[in-house]
Amino acid sequence: MRSFLFSFSLIFSLAIALFAELVFAQENDDYGVYYVYYNSMFPVYKTLYKIDPFFEYAKVVEYKWKRPETRLVEIRKPKNQEPPVILIHGIDPNEINGEWTNYKKYFVDTWKRCLPEEYGLYIFVYPSLDIPLEEGAKKLAQEVQKLASSTGQKRFNFYAHSMGGLLLRYALQDVGFTEYVAKIIFAGTPHIGSPFANFIVMNKKILKLRNDWDYLKMILISANLANVFIEAPNYAYLIYGRKHPGIPDFVDFMNFASVITNTSEPIIQNILRTEPFSSVVMIFLNAVSRIIFPEGEFTKNDGMVPLTSATAFGKSEIFEGFDHADFILSDIIV
């Protein structure tokens, strides 16, 4: 009897240890850390990994954040037999502060306003900062197949913004998934990357030799604190020249691209029509691109993605006077 109790106790202890290990592993998947560099009491810069700072700082503090749960979220059920629309967001620097950021809310609200009520609407939510796109792509394929089985819908239209288009390209490598694809819009997708991402991930100290370094440093710090970007692993998917899986020939898709113009009238109209802060930031970054890349193909961009990248292949529609944020904000584009 004593031997039996000892064996039972040992098995029970091992089971508890295994359960705790599984819970810990799950928490590691659900939570990440980010770092805030402070100068005195004021934040200077935020990252998802420690960097060799290019700015003065007094201390760095580590914070925990909960990653968004990867899933398809139903916005509204379809009331007809037409393909529902599935939205796929891009990289979201603000998700360290919570899942439903203004970016996702604006994205959904614009489509709720513009899409006729009888059409179904969903958004694919995923951790965009530090979980490989390949993992998100597998989950997207699974979620769409599950949705098709539960609703009887056979085909879906996809509207993928920015890096969301790259995630969708990975998902298109699953032949089973492509059976559910009706049409795709790649909206501001950096098919061959963006030099802005190279700028984000590079060691900034090598820029100190530039005459305009102080100005560039101010731009980087300001954009980071304004949550335009946060240094994170998944910006590596966006660097210029990185290759991604091709789009199968039989897939029906189109690119939406935009170019910020130099004339003031369309800029002012755009600011008045959409969310002002986003438009001002994109125009600001466009001006920076003209400093860093004064000549060549990168000067034509939407504030984030060069025209040459957003239209790298396939059919394209170009919206003059609009910026990268307008692909989720503008009733004219959507």
The answer to whether 118 and 79 have CB atoms below 8 angstroms apart is yes
Residue 196 has a pLDDT of 87
- Residue range 292-305: mean pLDDT, rounded: 76
Q: Mean pLDDT, to the nearest integer, of 31-39?
A: 97
For the chain, what is the radius of gyration of the CA atoms?
22
Neighbours of 302 (CB within 10 A): 29
Place of tokens 């609703």: 151
The pair phi, psi for residue 189, each rounded to 5°, is -80, 125
Neighbours of 209 (CB within 10 A): 7
Segment 42-63, tens digit of pLDDT: 999 999 999 999 999 999 999 9
- Range 71-196+228-329 classified under CATH 3.40.50.1820: yes
3-state DSSP call for residue 83?
A: coil
Cβ within 8 Å of residue 56, ≥6 positions away: 39, 44
Q: What is the pLDDT of residue 199?
A: 84
pLDDT at 12 (0 to 100)? 44
3-state secondary structure of 70: coil
Percent of the chain with pLDDT over 70: 81
Is it the case that residue 190 has pLDDT exceeding 50? yes
Q: Pick the more confident residue, 293 or 167.
A: 167
Sketch the domain layout of the chain as residue ranges: 2-66, 71-196+228-329
Instruction: Tell me the per-residue pLDDT of 98-140, one tens digit each, with 9 for 90 and over.
Output: 999 999 999 999 999 999 999 999 999 999 999 999 999 999 9
- pLDDT, residue 76, reads 97
